[in-house]
């Protein structure tokens, strides 16, 4: 039985059918249903019982960002992965504010899509390097904000090892990838993630990366 039960939400049928075809041979994934918009998705969740939603942003009646915010409140255990053509930082930041678990672009290949689903299903955030780069660039140029190389805001309270882990997170690496690169256990990397959020009093690592990027990460 597949561990990841996916609800596809996109207003274009060709995208939904194409994604179903692309993922049908993945033994760890099961497409439990489709929805053409946010309202339909919210109506189908209780019946279909997905544990991951692949969600487009631009949809009629209720867009993906609004839908994600409602899902996080009504169904907090369900993971939400944005699947969008938009690489605009405003869309990415608004998605993060809506508490999505990840954001990938529609030009991603099958390997990355499957990887993203597994990462968020396992309780981690997934923002690939190209998305992280967009965020960093936007924060550095926004209203004249320049990276700070010495401060006591976020980076100043983190240990050297935590900053090292954070840099890998900003590059879109999973805890498993980081553990392998640093010679640590996955549990240790997860502990570093938790400690960083506790020290900075932030809600998620995406928010941490966004702020730290303005401080010279």
Q: What is the pLDDT of residues 70-103, one digit of tens each?
A: 999 999 999 999 999 988 888 888 898 888 999 9
Rounded distance between C-alpha atoms, residue 143 and residue 146, angstroms: 9
Rounded distance between C-alpha atoms, residue 71 and residue 45, angstroms: 9
C-alpha 121 chain-centroid distance:
11
- Which of 16-30, 133-147, 192-206 holds the top average pLDDT? 16-30
Cβ-defined contacts of 88-93 (< 8 Å, 24+): 88/134, 89/134, 89/135, 89/137, 89/138, 91/57, 91/65, 92/127, 92/131, 92/134, 92/135, 93/135, 93/138, 93/210
Q: SS3 of 79, please? A: strand
CATH code reported for the domain at 4-125: 3.40.50.2300
The residues with which 104 forms a beta bridge, in sequence order, are 83
- Whether the CB-CB separation of 148 and 104 falls below 8 Å is answered with no
* pLDDT at residue number 196: 87
DSSP string, 106-122: TT--HHHHHHHHHHHHT
52-66, 108-122, 170-184: range with lowest mean pLDDT: 170-184
* pLDDT at residue number 147: 42
Mean of pLDDT values over 13-36: 94
Residue 138 has pLDDT above 50, yes or no: yes
Q: Is the pTM of this model over 0.95?
A: no
12-26, 139-153, 157-171, 194-208: range with lowest mean pLDDT: 139-153
Q: Where are the domains of the chain?
A: 4-125, 135-213
Superfamily of domain 135-213: Response regulator (3.40.50.2300)
Rounded distance between C-alpha atoms, residue 197 and residue 208, angstroms: 7
């Amino acid at each position: 039985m597949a561990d990841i039960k996916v609800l596809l939400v996109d207003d274009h049928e060709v995208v939904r059918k194409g994604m179903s075809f692309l993922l049908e041979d993945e033994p760890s994934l099961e497409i439990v249903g489709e929805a053409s918009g946010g309202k339909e998705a919210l109506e189908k969740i209780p019946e279909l019982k997905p544990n991951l939603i692949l969600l487009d942003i631009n949809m009629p009646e209720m867009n993906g960002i609004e839908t994600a915010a409602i899902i996080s409140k009504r169904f907090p255990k369900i993971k939400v992965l944005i699947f969008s053509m938009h690489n605009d930082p405003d869309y990415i930041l608004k998605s993060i504010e809506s508490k999505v678990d990840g954001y990938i672009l529609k030009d991603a290949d099958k390997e990355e899509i499957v990887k993203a689903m597994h990462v968020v299903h396992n309780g981690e955030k997934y923002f690939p390097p190209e998305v992280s780069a967009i965020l960093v660039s936007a924060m550095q140029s926004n209203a004249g904000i320049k990276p700070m190389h010495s401060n006591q805001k976020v980076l100043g309270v983190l240990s050297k090892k935590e900053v090292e882990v954070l840099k890998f997170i900003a590059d879109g690496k999973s805890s498993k990838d980081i553990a392998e690169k640093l010679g640590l256990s996955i549990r240790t990397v997860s502990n570093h993630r938790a400690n960083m959020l506790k020290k900075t009093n932030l809600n998620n690592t995406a928010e941490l990366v966004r702020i730290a990027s303005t401080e010279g990460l």
